[in-house]
Structure 1
Amino acid sequence: MASGDYRKDAFAEESRVDSGIDSYCSIVKPEEQPREVSEPREKFSSVDERLDSSYGSTVESLAEIVEACNIATEEPSPSAACSGFTEKEENIITSITEDGDTILHLAIIHEEALIANQLIQLFPKEVLDIQNNLYQSPLHLATYLNLTDVVKSLVIKMVNMELQDHDGNTALHVACHHGLTMCAAEMASEMSPSKLSRVLETQNWRGLACLHLAALSRQHQIMKLLLTKGADLNIQEGTSGKTALHLAVEMNDSTSVKLLLSNGANVDAAMFNGCTPLHLAVGRQDATISNLLCQSGADTMLRNLEDETALDLADGNDDILALFPFDDIQISGRSVVGVNF
């Protein structure tokens, strides 16, 4: 049976499986705390109780189906590999649920890594790239659940790592946001430089690239990984033009600020409104990060679209004003430093 013959009608309406991801995969707002690595798995606790009755009442039914297949070393078509199946069994293994999940999606949701890896060897590549109704590929789900071995198997089979889910996230976006370092490393190490570059430049529907998500979630190890893989330090997110350095400043994350600056981030990068990282740091009364930026050569005289310098935002903070020893000399509200008379 060709991959285009995959049917949705093999599953009875009353025995529907929900993918269990809908309420989970929305990206948190920048001000929220980063998630623990184990949280994606916890989010799926209720899914174990909703195994589709078409597969039987236990996960062992999935195993029995897979064990009956002839797992070949090459990439056989499902019909060839499952030629010993009854019509009912073949319908099950080649069907898609009403939620768009294949049997591989379901095996991953139930964290049955052995079964998932067997199915990955069984199915041709085009089946491995099927996206469910939430546009999640098996790679997305394996990453959410931190199933590193499954991620590795999918990557080795050269699945499409540029696929975006309903939030616009690639699987690498997911790994960067949730601190799944090993999953991110597997994907980054196997992609060609050109493909990796495209993924790193991809923005989700909130305008955030992988580096932005890692910065927002304080994922320092993943930030280091992305930088070694050539991520653009100064890529701007699509809504306000912030770079990862702007986001690190907003998160009051001096570790990320140091990491980005030491790797050559543009200390004077301007948002769409003209604000530099120093504007943001001073506006937040963050003397520590303001000092880091000044030590890295931040231009204290740059003005945003409101015609404000960073000094204008100091609001009498003595610790921050000490960073601008002469900038408080003004005529008609404008600094006279550097002005020739």
Structure 2
Amino acid sequence: MAQSGGEKQGKLDFDESRIDSGIDSYKSISREQDASSDRSQEKEKACVTDERLDSAYVSSSLNVDSLGDIIEQCSISECESATDCEYTEEEVNFLTTVTEDGDTILHLAVIHEEECFARQLIDLFSPELMDIQNNLYQTPLHLATYLNLPSVVKGLVKKRVSLELQDQDGNTPLHVACEQGFWDCANEMIHNASPSKLSCVLEAQNWRGLTCLHVATLRKHHRLMRLLLKNGVDLNLQEGTSGKTALHVAVELHDAPAVNMLLNKGANVDAAMFNGCTALHLAVGRQDATIANLLCQAGADKMIRNMEDETALDLADGNDDILALFPFDDIQIMGRTVMSFS
């Protein structure tokens, strides 16, 4: 790239001495402008005193103001494309610095919701750099999802970052979106990911054995459930601890709309947990006549026995509303009907 006056055009200008360090956490980060700062009036307005949503992440050794100073030093946008810029080894080392908490400058830009700066870094970085996990095994994509920044999520996914990396709880970024109910972030991941990557993510279990569909069902995020169902998730995937499908989970939560949705999309009504219980066993055991009726209408087998050798009828425990769903056969002696219970 051509140089003028001994300086590269469109480079990242910075003063390495401005990097702060030694801050233990983001537990109570103040967004208030330091009185001695010469930051612009517009930047002042963007800073407010607030307890951060990302406080649970406890990640970074740079504070808000020092990161703002770094951003003001940057001139990435002077290039037509950040990938066209030429950088010195010193500048590359700066951009790829990892803090004591394992965060890159991209992690920090996302944490502070500096979306414009984050997108510039995304344009600049290779997928390998953007897949670096911090000490809590979070990638920038995890953080962008947790903070509900769909534009950053879109930029990351379009650059083909990994959707499969798991944080300290085993959650992929899509798990995080399903946990928090962030439909926009989930939608960006699903529609910008390659089919092969998406398939792997939809089948991935976190350390509790839950897939994304299990998590969305647990949180009763019906819109997210519909998004997953529309995009090829296996309805009958079992979670890893007890073998529940999403249908079992919805029944346990007495979530009739979710049960109806799953059945309409073709969920196996007779799928059994590791202990042999079907969704009907769970509905009857919980005295939920409404959901038991939905399952029976979907063709649930009333005679399946669990590992305790119990049918769903055995669990009815005298509940008339549920017993009405189980018609008795006529009693016959020598081939002749002597009593009818139907």
Residue in 1 aligned with 2:253? Answer: 251
8 Å contact from structure 1 (residues 11, 97) kept in 2 = no
8 Å contact from structure 1 (residues 16, 98) kept in 2 = no
8 Å contact from structure 2 (residues 178, 216) kept in 1 = yes
* 2:271 alignment partner, SS class: coil
Q: Distance in 2 between matches of 1:298 and 1:200?
A: 26
Q: Distance in 1 between matches of 2:56 and 2:93?
A: 23
Q: Distance in 2 between matches of 1:45 and 1:136?
A: 12
Matching residue's letter, 2:161:
V
Q: Distance in 2 between matches of 1:47 and 1:62?
A: 24
Matching residue's letter, 1:44:
L
User: Superposed, which structure 2 residues align to 1:212-251 within 5 Å?
Assistant: 212-251=214-253
Residue in 2 aligned with 1:208? Answer: 210
Q: Does 1:66 align with 2:74?
A: yes
1:51 Cα offset (Å): 7.2
Residue in 2 aligned with 1:148? Answer: 150
Matching residue's letter, 1:264:
G
Gaps of 5+ in 1: 1-9, 21-40, 330-341
After superposition, the Cα gap between the structure-2 partners of 1:97 and 1:195, relative to the gap in structure 1 and judged at 3 Å, is: same
8 Å contact from structure 1 (residues 47, 109) kept in 2 = no
Percent identity for Structure 1 against Structure 2: 61
Q: Which moved more, 1:154-163 or 1:269-278?
A: 154-163
User: Superposed, which structure 2 residues align to 1:329-340 within 5 Å?
Assistant: none
* 2:220 alignment partner, SS class: coil
Q: Does 1:44 align with 2:42?
A: no
Aligned length: 293
Deviations 1:190-230 (A, max 9, x none): 11212111111111111111111111111111111111111
Q: Distance in 1 between matches of 2:152 and 2:323?
A: 53
* 1:163 alignment partner, SS class: coil
Residue in 2 aligned with 1:15? Answer: 22
Structure of greater Rg: 2
Aligned-residue RMSD, C-alpha: 2.9
* 1:57 alignment partner, SS class: helix
Residue in 2 aligned with 1:314? Answer: 316
* 1:15 alignment partner, SS class: coil
After TM superposition, the score normalised by the length of structure 2 is 0.78
Which structure is richer in relative contact order (CA contacts within 8 A, separation 6 or more)? 1
Matching residue's letter, 2:262:
L
Residue in 1 aligned with 2:326? Answer: 324
User: Superposed, which structure 2 residues align to 1:153-302 within 5 Å?
Assistant: 153-302=155-304
1:231 Cα offset (Å): 0.3
* 1:260 alignment partner, SS class: helix
Gaps of 5+ in 2: 1-16, 28-49, 332-342
* 2:282 alignment partner, SS class: helix
After superposition, the Cα gap between the structure-2 partners of 1:218 and 1:57, relative to the gap in structure 1 and judged at 3 Å, is: same
Q: Distance in 2 between matches of 1:235 and 1:285?
A: 25
Q: Distance in 2 between matches of 1:82 and 1:56?
A: 25
8 Å contact from structure 1 (residues 302, 309) kept in 2 = yes
8 Å contact from structure 1 (residues 287, 319) kept in 2 = yes
8 Å contact from structure 2 (residues 61, 101) kept in 1 = no
Q: Distance in 1 between matches of 2:233 and 2:55?
A: 37
Deviations 1:19-69 (A, max 9, x none): 76xxxxxxxxxxxxxxxxxxxx9762659999745x783442131233367
User: Superposed, which structure 2 residues align to 1:84-123 within 5 Å?
Assistant: 87=90, 91-123=93-125
1:122 Cα offset (Å): 1.8
After TM superposition, the score normalised by the length of structure 1 is 0.78
1:73 Cα offset (Å): 2.6
8 Å contact from structure 2 (residues 20, 66) kept in 1 = no
Residue in 2 aligned with 1:29? Answer: none
